[in-house]
Amino acid sequence: MIRIVENRLDQWLSDKDRKPLVLRGARQVGKTWLVRNLAKRTNKRLVEFNFERDPSSKRFFTSNDPKIILRDISRDLNAVLEQQNTILFLDEIQAAGELLAKLRWFAEEMQGLAVIAAGSLLEFTLADHSFSMPVGRIGFLHIEPLGFIEFLTAHKQDLLIHDLLSWRPGREFSPNLHEQALKWFDRFLTVGGMPAIVERDVSGTDEAVCREQQLDLAATYRSDFPKYAKRIEPAVLDSVLRSAALSLGRKFVYAKVEDGVKQHVVKKAIGLLSAARVCHLVRYSAANGLPLGGETKDTFRKVILNDIGLLHALLRFPAHAGLPRWDLVAPQVRGQMAEQAVGQLLRLLGPASGDGPELYYWQREGGRPGEIDYIIQICGRIIPIELKSGETGTMKSLHQFMHDKKLSLAVRFDRNPPALIDLSTKTTQGQEVKYRLYNLPHYMAERLETIVGQGI
């Protein structure tokens, strides 16, 4: 399996001024595999510690002197560890959070040694730390589930990938290519982007087994809930997670989660689930200018899950008789699947470093309804995104938004072939509005930045 983020890891490893790197992401997005594969590809010796599986490993890191730490590890392995040929991997470091502070000493005194840490519930440690974080002395890299191109790569669909990546705005896009891409995207919608489940799908595993793995993934996340116990009841987390799945595509309303659960508790629960990367908040932006996060409101928010496979598990999507055709899926569920899939692919456009990618949306306050499903910034522009689960649908909210915000470029994702359209129409209020619309199929979401950049 080839991951696009491998290029980032290669760049980090070859950087003479590299800092210890911390991988952040949910369970089973492939953090451990990526590090092991990095060592294998670059012919480095991997020295790996998993502090969740073996808490006693912390004994090697009692000193603040990296030379002493490396000496003690070498003695235990009965081997000389050369800095330039070794990767030190500290896995599940949230189980030994105090070691994060010690990474500064490797940055300052042992730059020759490549040090990588990873954790699945790392955000809790970062939030609760009682030690001084080595700000500026460590780097962060966020790991997301596989995108659609990576999914095709795993399935060795090289010709299809070439054709999709070669398309430019204004060029012809053959009906056969669109049909093939839709077929594979529907499969991606079914399997999701979690590496282990994709690997099963590639090997020809029965669809029912893939669905069982998705259920197992949901169970894995739930098994972590007791670790949140000092913060919130596991039963509340489970209710909030189910509610997040059911509310996909709509404003997430704290008061509608479950009778008897107070709103401030729900807000805390969704914050914890977001910190664990099980789901992601889509924040409201007024979209009056850049940056989009400069004018937000906590009273408006949507939620998406980390992967569409988790949506299937939470909705108990059937698989025993084979996966249903897209047109046999209930219309509301089709809308939820489109919202989830496009959302998780758009996250791949965001920065993988720092605090990671953020998604935004817009909705009208009071009066007549109106919503823009997603808003992103590309090439210094605000780009509103309209989502349709099928091939047709009106764009009343988008027309009004483009008029009110005085924007000239928008995107609509649906199941039609790609097209570039210059629109001249009127809003429902009778106001004239002109703008350029990129009408793109859902499967092009992760290429949006490139496509829009080529057309400007």
The phi, psi pair for 261, rounded to 5°, reads -100, 120
Angle between helices 234-246 and 207-223 (to 10 degrees): 140
Per-residue pLDDT, 231 = 74
- The pTM of this model reads 0.93
| Other Cβ atoms within 10 Å of 168 Cβ, number | 12
List the structure tokens of 15: 């950087």
| Long-range contacts, stretch 103-108, CB < 8 angstroms, 24+ apart | 103/20, 103/22, 103/134, 103/137, 103/138, 104/134, 104/137, 104/138, 105/64, 105/65, 105/66, 106/20, 106/66, 107/19, 107/20, 107/134, 107/137, 107/138, 108/137
Q: Residue 373: what pLDDT?
A: 96
Q: Determine the pLDDT at residue 122.
A: 79
- The owner of tokens 């909210």 is 397
Q: Return the pLDDT at 131.
A: 59
Q: What is the pLDDT of residue 321?
A: 55
Domains detected in the chain: 6-142 (3.40.50.300), 149-455 (no CATH)
**Mean pLDDT for each 10-residue chunk of the chain (456 residues)?**
93 93 94 97 97 94 94 94 95 89 90 93 71 76 97 97 94 95 94 95 87 92 82 89 94 90 92 92 95 91 96 83 68 92 95 84 84 94 92 86 96 96 94 96 96 82
- What pLDDT sits at residue 133? 66
